[in-house]
Amino acid sequence: MQVPSPFAYERASSVEHALQLLDSLGPEARLLAGGHSLLPMMKLRLANPEHLIDIDGLADELGYIREQDGEVRIGAMTRHRALLESELLASRLGIFADAERVIADPVVRNRGTIGGALCQADPAEDLSAVCAAVGARVVIRGPGGERVVDMHEFHRGPYETAVQDGEMVTEIRVPLVADSGSAYEKVERRVGDWAVAAAGASVRLEGGAIAAAGIALTAVGAGVTAPEAEAALVGNAPSDELFEQAARIAADGANPVGDQRGTAAYKRHAAAELTRRALRRATARALREEA
Ligand SMILES: Cc1cc2nc3c(=O)[nH]c(=O)nc-3n(C[C@H](O)[C@H](O)[C@H](O)COP(=O)(O)OP(=O)(O)OC[C@H]3O[C@@H](n4cnc5c(N)ncnc54)[C@H](O)[C@@H]3O)c2cc1C
């Protein structure tokens, strides 16, 4: 199927306008950001919205990456390309550039947005794991005002998030933490492909030990983070043996499905190895040993 079902089209001129349109058009309306997930779904008739509300015109209002109140604040319409090229993210949160380098291709990165990626919640989508690993929070606006939820509450499973009818994501907030580092590792079949498996990690060091850690896996049927693996790290000095132990716990907690990208056993093995590598690189960055 190459042609979507018929739909009506509206262009929002501001966040308020988008919320008004969502309210007046009802639950059969969908926001259109970069369109790189929604339009293919519509062409395959997996999504059949009656109304599209194009929010591309909100790229100025919601397209920013800035430091504020000890956080990096990222507008929901920020494109993958801007995330890849941000000096602020590269210097403080290396995990974003790691992931963006291996998300799709320049055509998709020029249009696709962080808000669209998180709201699509595709199990093989990379930014949910990135945001979860660094303890990001998501700002959701609706008719009743604004609420801020962490990634555990936001990401409810494949294609399911905390965003309700009439609501939209406006911002992602990532805490800036001293003595910390983060990294993302991904295996793909070919350049620009979705992940076979991927892992994001962050660590905060204090007095030579790991004081806090975040681990999140992509495309292997795992929860939004791996709390038992994170707990295994805390209070211990970083070492390859420790990383291997935590990586094994994280991979054991995953539930990969065999498909054309690999067998379940291969994906679990890859998840463990990628977690180990992400932890090692995140720690090197926390120690300023690696950019
Ligand atoms: C060929 C190809 C390869 C790709 N490879 C990868 C990859 O390797 N890794 C990866 O992570 N992604 C990949 N993607 C997906 C890409 O990153 C998309 O850009 C992203 O998933 C969706 O962003 P978007 O802005 O295009 O969202 P859209 O397609 O416009 O929207 C997606 C969903 O989110 C909703 N939505 C959008 N914005 C908001 C908002 N602000 N508030 C509430 N709901 C909203 C929409 O209504 C829709 O349901 C690929 C896409 C393509 C086409």
Where exactly does CATH 3.30.465.10 map onto the chain?
A: 65-175
* Closest C-alpha to ligand 1, atom 50: 104
Place of tokens 């194009």: 54
* Closest C-alpha to ligand 1, atom 4: 104
State the pLDDT at residue 1.
64
* CATH 3.90.870.10 is the classification of domain 195-286: no
Ligand 1 touching residue 36 (CB < 6 A): yes
**pLDDT tens digits, residue range 66-88?**
999 999 999 999 999 999 999 99
**pLDDT tens digits, residue range 184-240?**
999 999 998 999 999 999 999 999 999 999 999 999 998 889 999 999 999 999 999
Where exactly does CATH 3.30.43.10 map onto the chain?
A: 8-54
Instruction: Point out the ligand 1 atom lying closest to the alpha carbon of residue 33.
Output: 30
Distance, in Å, from the CA atom of 195 to the CA atom of 175, rounded to the nearest integer, reads 26
Cα 212 to chain centroid distance, Å, stands at 20
Q: 236: which DSSP letter? A: S
CATH topology of domain 65-175: 3.30.465
* Closest C-alpha to ligand 1, atom 11: 125
State the pLDDT at residue 224.
87
Quick one: which of 32, 59, 25 has its CA closest to 47?
32
Residue 119 alpha carbon to ligand 1 centre in Å: 8
Ligand 1 touching residue 168 (CB < 6 A): yes
Where exactly does CATH 3.30.390.50 map onto the chain?
A: 195-286
Ligand 1 touching residue 200 (CB < 6 A): no
Ligand 1 touching residue 210 (CB < 6 A): no
CATH topology of domain 8-54: 3.30.43
Stated as kind and residue range, the H or E segment containing 189 is none
If DSSP codes are grouped into helix, strand and coil, which group holds residue 132?
helix
- 196-228: burial string, b at 16+ Cβ within 10 Å, e else: bbbbbbbbbbeeeebeebbbbbbbbbbebbbbe
**pLDDT tens digits, residue range 36-45?**
999 999 999 9
